[in-house]
A = this chain, B = another copy of it.
């Protein structure tokens, strides 16, 4: 093989350098710094200070030795010894023994240079779930340290112009056609002078100056906000590393205007200024979460330069200051269904004056920016297999498709899954029953409550544990277990005849109830409420499947706080989701929040989801006759069906009892 330097035809003043793991290689003049060589060869090596041995982002590893693979023999003296600047950095900030600053170490002879992951500009945030995509860290806002030329009477150029010229000169790849936020102008001159003409610039999109600080600044933060009707959550991230520095949650203070979405829309419709009030309190809460997470991370709220905000259409509109009244009735017209980018200040969220807020597009009147974020997080549009994504809430948002086609709808499940409309129901909070099992023989239940790890029948279960109610996942499991243990028929009737076998079933007016623990019972009305909710959920999914003319899906992803807490097997027993291989049902956790984080860290993902959302086919359940059909069909619990038979292999499913009504009918037919 030819010596690669021969290709270049250069003299002996050239050295051959190979970067790992990229494998990029080439000749550079002896004396070139590793950082310059990396830039020259297109190697991804980070730097904020622009090569001044200040930020330490360009750390590399050099090991002398023979690298036959690369035809490189690197002596220990391949790099210059650490100079004054690097030594100062090592003393001030500590530098591992095997590390060198790429900006200071100069190449004297051939070398192989290793770029560790944390020194790469383009990183990935690894997600825990095996099937989830990694998050690329390609933030829209980056920091650039720059030394600005001082003003000169002979060459009159404004401070801003010299700043831009210095940036373009000192940062390869930056043009000098930069624009600048107006607020920056107000403080620019003082900042430049306070920093003795050395400043750090936050550049947005590579060409807009949104902030300037004196001296070296190494961190810029972003906030991913998920505005739920009930709870709001915030994740504060380092925009350069993707690391989550702090997380916080809060109740949505709009609850005082109405428990669920529709009551808030009604509030807006009935009360002049009602929408504005709800906008104000949710923005205050968002500002509060930003401050809280910043405090936790030891940062100021003004270090947050990017915010991504997702929520259902009503939350989305209220955050943007849009009265959501139109979302309260057909045709459920959104004000806007494209991505929004605006200033945080315009939303009265007080962070840095240059902070931007990005909100992905709402998809339809009941399918919000949170659904867009879920799609971004789960990426069905990148897959060949057919994925059904269900984000359960008062309105379930359902997405079905693959890389060829993507459909979305919402289904009015009502608040039963959130514990509302359930006699002993409550929100998921400490003391709420979240897991239920019923012994198939003794018919005795055991349960787990939020906040306590032990099951109720285990010795570790505290005797004084306060059991306050049953939350959504608890009621799902309770119903599935009642059905599996034969205490409930397939049509959802608590079977009074079981009173012979257990004292927990008791007559409760004209129907029967089942006592779970203390005075916490499951009534027949509770069962009906959950049946309505799960039938709506199922019917929505079926409607989308009809459109694609499919009967099964390859994967089911349950998203949302509720979706991540329910046991997927029990959900299948209940018939909440269509037929699917049980091991292909996943719980995605707060996928909307994850999607917000992806959009926060990766500006290319924003374009991606904007494209995808535009392609999503919106199905309106309210006007689809088939929705009603599916809804009615889905009221009963699945039995004698293929999926049910498959489930039997997973859980100890009994031969189900015939629905009471059906057996009665059958009895009538065969007197």
- Which residues of A does B touch, CB under 8 Å? 151-154, 156-161, 180, 182-183, 185-186, 188-190, 320-323, 325-326, 330-338, 340, 342-343, 346, 362, 364-365, 618, 620, 622-623
A611 to chain B minimum Cβ distance, whole angstroms, is: 14
Q: Nearest CB to that of A180 among chain B residues?
A: B336
Which B residues touch A189, using CB under 8 A?
322-323, 325-326, 333, 335
Whether A337 lies near B185 (C-beta < 8 A) is no
Which B residues touch A332, using CB under 8 A?
151, 153, 156
Partner of A333, one of B159, B325, B338, B365: B159
Which B residues touch A335, using CB under 8 A?
158-160, 185, 188-189
Which B residues touch A161, using CB under 8 A?
336-338
Partner of A158, one of B180, B337, B342, B622: B337
Given A323-B189, A346-B182, A336 contacting B159 (CB threshold 8 A): yes
Q: A622–B153 Cα gap in the complex (Å)?
A: 9
Whether B160 lies near A338 (C-beta < 8 A) is yes
A628 to chain B minimum Cβ distance, whole angstroms, is: 16
Which B residues touch A336, using CB under 8 A?
158-161, 180, 185, 188
A469 to chain B minimum Cβ distance, whole angstroms, is: 38
Whether B158 lies near A320 (C-beta < 8 A) is no
Q: A182-B346, A189-B326, A190-B323 are in contact. List 13 more A-B contacts (CB 8 A).
A: A151-B326, A151-B333, A156-B332, A156-B365, A157-B337, A158-B337, A160-B336, A182-B320, A182-B342, A183-B346, A185-B322, A185-B335, A189-B325
Q: A320–B158 Cα gap in the complex (Å)?
A: 15
Which B residues touch A325, using CB under 8 A?
189
Partner of A337, one of B160, B330, B362, B622: B160
Whether A158 lies near B620 (C-beta < 8 A) is no
A503 to chain B minimum Cβ distance, whole angstroms, is: 51
Given A182-B346, A320-B186, A321-B185, A158 contacting B330 (CB threshold 8 A): no
Whether A321 lies near B158 (C-beta < 8 A) is no
Q: Nearest CB to that of A181 among chain B residues?
A: B342
Which B residues touch A622, using CB under 8 A?
153
Whether B365 lies near A334 (C-beta < 8 A) is no
A410 to chain B minimum Cβ distance, whole angstroms, is: 11
Which B residues touch A365, using CB under 8 A?
156
Q: A623–B153 Cα gap in the complex (Å)?
A: 8
A353 to chain B minimum Cβ distance, whole angstroms, is: 9
Q: A200–B343 Cα gap in the complex (Å)?
A: 26
Which B residues touch A183, using CB under 8 A?
321, 346
Q: Nearest CB to that of A361 among chain B residues?
A: B158
Whether B158 lies near A334 (C-beta < 8 A) is yes
Whether A156 lies near B323 (C-beta < 8 A) is no
Complex copy number for this chain: 2
A600 to chain B minimum Cβ distance, whole angstroms, is: 19
Q: A151–B327 Cα gap in the complex (Å)?
A: 12
A669 to chain B minimum Cβ distance, whole angstroms, is: 42
Which B residues touch A158, using CB under 8 A?
333-338, 362
Q: A161–B333 Cα gap in the complex (Å)?
A: 11
Which B residues touch A180, using CB under 8 A?
336
Q: A157–B346 Cα gap in the complex (Å)?
A: 25
A259 to chain B minimum Cβ distance, whole angstroms, is: 24
Whether A152 lies near B185 (C-beta < 8 A) is no
Most buried by B among A180, A190, A326, A335: A335
Q: A151–B330 Cα gap in the complex (Å)?
A: 9
Partner of A159, one of B185, B320, B334: B334
A326 to chain B minimum Cβ distance, whole angstroms, is: 5
Q: Nearest CB to that of A342 among chain B residues?
A: B182
Whether A331 lies near B151 (C-beta < 8 A) is yes
Q: A424–B11 Cα gap in the complex (Å)?
A: 81
Q: A338–B157 Cα gap in the complex (Å)?
A: 10
Whether B364 lies near A185 (C-beta < 8 A) is no
Which B residues touch A321, using CB under 8 A?
183, 185-186
Which B residues touch A340, using CB under 8 A?
182, 185
Q: Nearest CB to that of A343 among chain B residues?
A: B182
Which B residues touch A364, using CB under 8 A?
156
Q: A525–B337 Cα gap in the complex (Å)?
A: 73
A189 to chain B minimum Cβ distance, whole angstroms, is: 5
Q: A399–B182 Cα gap in the complex (Å)?
A: 28
A528 to chain B minimum Cβ distance, whole angstroms, is: 29
Q: A182–B158 Cα gap in the complex (Å)?
A: 31
Q: A180–B342 Cα gap in the complex (Å)?
A: 10
Most buried by B among A152, A336, A343: A336
Q: A364–B161 Cα gap in the complex (Å)?
A: 12
Q: A342–B333 Cα gap in the complex (Å)?
A: 32
Q: A338–B185 Cα gap in the complex (Å)?
A: 11
Q: A326–B156 Cα gap in the complex (Å)?
A: 13
Whether B160 lies near A620 (C-beta < 8 A) is no
Most buried by B among A320, A321, A326: A326
Most buried by B among A182, A185, A330: A182
Q: A333–B335 Cα gap in the complex (Å)?
A: 46
A-B contact pairs, 13 of them (CB 8 A): A153-B332, A157-B337, A158-B335, A158-B338, A160-B336, A160-B337, A182-B342, A185-B320, A185-B321, A188-B335, A188-B336, A189-B322, A189-B333
Q: A183–B279 Cα gap in the complex (Å)?
A: 14
Whether A618 lies near B156 (C-beta < 8 A) is yes
A612 to chain B minimum Cβ distance, whole angstroms, is: 16
Which B residues touch A186, using CB under 8 A?
320-323
A150 to chain B minimum Cβ distance, whole angstroms, is: 8
Whether A154 lies near B333 (C-beta < 8 A) is no
Most buried by B among A180, A183, A185, A188: A185
When A and B form their complex, which 10 residue pairs have the shortest distance between CB atoms, in order from nearest?
A158-B337, A151-B333, A158-B334, A153-B331, A182-B342, A151-B331, A186-B321, A160-B336, A156-B364, A156-B618
Which B residues touch A330, using CB under 8 A?
153
Q: Nearest CB to that of A345 among chain B residues?
A: B346
Which B residues touch A157, using CB under 8 A?
337
Which B residues touch A152, using CB under 8 A?
331
Which B residues touch A151, using CB under 8 A?
326, 331-333
Q: A176–B190 Cα gap in the complex (Å)?
A: 43
Partner of A623, one of B154, B185, B188, B343: B154
